[in-house]
Chain A
Amino acid sequence: MSTLVFLETHDGEPTKGGLGLLSKAAALGAGDVSAVVLGTGVRDAAAQAGAHGASRVYVVEDDALAAPLPQPRVDALEAVVAESGAENVLFAASVLAADVASGLAARLEAGLNWDLTDLRVDGGELVGTRPALGDTVLVDVGWTSTPRIGLVRSGTFDPVETGGTAEVQEVSATFREFSTQARLVDHLQEESSGPSIEEADVIVAGGRGLGGPEGFSMCEELASALGGAVAATRAVVDAGWYPYSAQVGQTGKTVSPKLYIALGISGAIQHKVGMQGSGTIVAINKDPNAPIFDFADLGVVGDLAQIAPKLTELLRARQ
């Protein structure tokens, strides 16, 4: 069973999600594992792919792939899948990767399973695990033809360096006329300090219980003491307390840090689906009946204005 992992790059660097998925694919121990990198100036990413378990890296360098747009990537992947004969094509979910995976599924008449939180090989078949219905059930999903396309929930697998090297194979692609019609005309970088919430090992998230936008300074200080990033619920983003880029949940981002500290978050299902993959969840909320206590590992019922600054102070004192 040969597997191809789409390694998304940002400024020439592979994303953590892509490297984590590559490590997982290698750990499945089910046949050849290759990576594919697409773009301009992405050859250096090939070395990292080797270090994370790929035996081969397919590289398509083309100006048509310079901007982070999905449609030319479908053309390039079509060529790489044909060249490699890959039976599994796996993607770590992102705004870009989801569109590429879906476009490729239509192009190749291939099955796409999304939101996977685990992968395994069972009786020679690839099986994915997908939480459904607000994560109240776990569904084992399969594919009835090849290639099998899988989109894995972001942050599901941690990168593991195995120290190998990958053979680099250049592939050229032809681009369809419609694929290159959308053009990037501007990029507006979000003002951010510290790690992005998808990449962070620690997230401090704030909800309505913060009382107002000024409450986020508590989150920021606690996050800075932990070397983490700040996230927010939909309610407070809608209220304009914090930028949308930090929104976690059904209509925001899905994160799975090692530690998720929820300040003043009730834990509605819309938020839960975006963060329940976190390693350890600590919640502080004054409402003892808040749903977040049903799935927090450590729940503290109390006034966060008292607890959070004290926690920051204690953590700083330990450093």
Chain B
Amino acid sequence: MKIAVCVKQVPDATVHKRLDPATNRLDRSGEGALNATDVNAVEEALRLKEASGGEVVVLSLGPEKAMDSLRKALAMGADRAVLVSDDAAAGSDLVATSRALAMALEREEADLVLFGQQSSDGDGAVLWAAVSDRLRRPMVSQVAELTVDGDAVKGKRQTEFGYDVIAAPLPAVVAVSDAINEPRYPSLKGIMGAKSKPQEVVSLADLGVDPGDVGESGSRTTVRAVAPPPAKSGQVKIEDDGSGAEKIVDYLAEKRLI
């Protein structure tokens, strides 16, 4: 089985995230890391490969330096990395990103496409649905348990109302929740071996994507303004002197919350 895992490089957790005032886009100049919940998707792909064989390809859209983060997936055990990188793709929103990614996935013809739960930079948790619509494939998201049986997948999907068990024929798109597994750490051998694994950078032209269909020209959303959030006022902090509970009750009563 061939599995493609869609991943993203995000600013490292230690980097102070900021918007570039000139473009209103996230400043990606600092240290990058593989998005944490994408690591769960890579782990799940590796477990499926270990159980039944096949190939794991990690695929991303981003600046060329994003390959540094894709190498972490290779160090964990993924077989190769494909990075769609093109200046014309910078600033792509959901419609534009999903278009470029879908074209790259069409080229791979994977049996299973996996996504992680959420990007930590844009807080997006929707890309798989747009991509699966473009690929015209069945999709299951928020999957906390995944099994592949022959030519079908079964996912236990976590919702506000409990768990739904969803079955779908392959090829399919699955977005996993971060509750699905505990990802492995790359071994030293894995890290050393990652360098020699295939790492391909492809352009929009390679994929047959019209540059006008991605980046800002291909996007349908815009940032109009950026402002600091309003400061909170009227905060009260007290030390409990034995009357803490009474003070809370008084406070709630004054606010008419009880």
Contact = CB atoms under 8 A, between A and B. Distances in A.
Interface stretch (B46-54, B77-85, B139-147, B198-206): B139-147
Nearest to B249: A314
Contact of A133 (B18, B161, B242, B247): B18
21 contacts: A106-B133, A111-B95, A111-B221, A112-B93, A112-B130, A132-B122, A133-B19, A137-B226, A138-B227, A141-B223, A177-B136, A181-B138, A183-B166, A183-B168, A184-B165, A185-B165, A251-B118, A273-B123, A298-B251, A302-B240, A307-B244
Contacts of A183: 166-168
Given A110-B220, A244-B158, A68 B164 contact: yes
A60 B178 CA distance: 34
A101 interface: yes
A141 B224 contact: yes
Interface in B218-248: 219-229, 232, 234-240, 242, 244-248
A63 B130 CA distance: 24
Secondary structure of the A contact surface, majority rule: mixed
Nearest to A319: B258
B252 A259 contact: yes
Contacts of B247: 298, 300
Contacts of B128: 99, 102
B129 A314 contact: no
B221 to A, nearest CB: 4
A81 to B, nearest CB: 14
Interface residues of B, number: 86
Contacts of B18: 133
Interface in B158-208: 158-169, 172, 177-179
B131 interface: yes
Contacts of B122: 132
B2 interface: no
Interface in B57-96: 93-95
A112 B95 contact: yes
B180 to A, nearest CB: 11
B1 interface: no
Nearest to B221: A111
A90 interface: no
A250 B117 CA distance: 10
A300 B238 contact: yes
A252 to B, nearest CB: 10
Given A251-B37, A300-B244, A71 B95 contact: no
A157 interface: no
Given A103-B129, A183-B166, A284 B158 contact: no
Interface in B100-156: 117-118, 120-134, 136-142, 144, 154, 156
Given A68-B159, A298-B238, 7 more contacts: A111-B221, A133-B18, A139-B24, A181-B168, A250-B120, A258-B257, A284-B240
Contact of A109 (B95, B168, B172, B244): B95
B165 A299 contact: no
A260 to B, nearest CB: 11
Interface of B: 17-19, 24, 26, 37, 93-95, 98-99, 117-118, 120-134, 136-142, 144, 154, 156-169, 172, 177-179, 219-229, 232, 234-240, 242, 244-249, 251-252, 255, 257-258
B95 A139 contact: no
Nearest to A259: B257
Nearest to B170: A181
A177 B138 CA distance: 9
A31 interface: no
A10 B160 CA distance: 10
Question: What 8 A-B pairs come out closest when comparing CB atoms?
Answer: A302-B240, A111-B220, A102-B129, A102-B126, A310-B245, A106-B130, A186-B165, A111-B221
A188 interface: yes
B222 to A, nearest CB: 5
B19 A185 contact: no
Given A106-B98, A282-B251, A95 B160 contact: yes
Interface string A177-212: 111011111111110000010100010000000000
B167 A297 contact: no
A190 B156 CA distance: 13
